[in-house]
Amino acid sequence: YQGHKPGPEARAFIIDQYFGLRVTENKILNYLLDKGLPISAGKISDILTTSNDLEIFHTEKDEINEASVAYSPYQQIDDSGARVNGENQYCSVLCNEFCSLFYIRPKKNRLTVIDVLLGKQELKFWLNDKAMEYLKEKRLPKKYFDPLKQELSEKLFSEKEMGEKISKLFPKIPGRYRDLISEAAAISYYKSLPPEKKIDILVSDDAGQFQDIVEHHGLCW
């Protein structure tokens, strides 16, 4: 115990048994009681569902991500479909020689990849010359490209602000071009980060969502 709570080893054991090995709460309770740990069914449920008990693991994961980016020049990434509460989402694994981290996100695109690479850093969007170079390379139609070029600034946008700006400029823009503008601004922001906050080498398969984000893209299968 740690104070009046089960200690970190007991909490980690409960979470691992339930989520990793699919052991039911009742069986976990019986096992711990057999081992002499005084714990209730309600406390086990709290550990598995209460954010205060799980927050320490989210914090640790963010710190691991930050350290792995600072001390390794590369990350390897892959993603796969995952069911979350009956809905189709995606699980991304991010790893190097130091660690492996897993993230669940609702979409599989470049914004998701950048968000995963950023860890606890907030995803920002920057409409600058680099973003316009990306959009030119991706052949954004001139009717969107030219007005957008007049909007370049030093301002960093949140995801909500970026969406509102695109909607204001182009109320009827097709979804694929909206996504293209957003990813261009997100990529330009990511590349502007200091070396200790980003990676230069991303290793992955040839799926489109992994391309064009960092300076060097290594392929693997």
- pLDDT score at 1: 56
- pLDDT score at 81: 94
Range(s) of the domain holding residue 105: 56-121+193-219
Going from the first residue of the chain to its last (221 residues), give the mean pLDDT of each consecutive group of 10, the final group possibly shorter: 71 90 94 92 87 72 90 93 90 93 94 94 96 98 97 96 97 97 98 93 96 94 72
Q: Please tell me the distance from the alpha carbon of residue 28 to that of residue 55, in angstroms, as a whole number.
A: 21
Q: Quick one: CA dihedral 177, 179, 182, 187, positive or negative?
A: negative
- Same-domain status, 215 and 106: yes
Interval 97-135: pLDDT, tens: 999 999 999 999 999 999 999 998 999 999 999 999 999
| Residue that has been written with the tokens 């330009």 in this structure | 188
- Same-domain status, 153 and 186: yes
pTM: 0.78
- Same-domain status, 187 and 199: no
Q: Are 84 and 75 in contact (CB under 8 A)?
A: no
Q: Quick one: CA dihedral 148, 154, 157, 161, positive or negative?
A: negative
- pLDDT score at 2: 52
Q: Would residue 174 count as lying in a domain? A: yes
Residue 185, judged by CB atoms within 10 A of its CB (0-12, 13-18, 19+), counts as buried
- Same-domain status, 199 and 104: yes
- pLDDT score at 53: 59
| Residue that has been written with the tokens 């070396």 in this structure | 195
Work out how many domains the chain is built from and give that number. 3
Q: Would residue 157 count as lying in a domain? A: yes
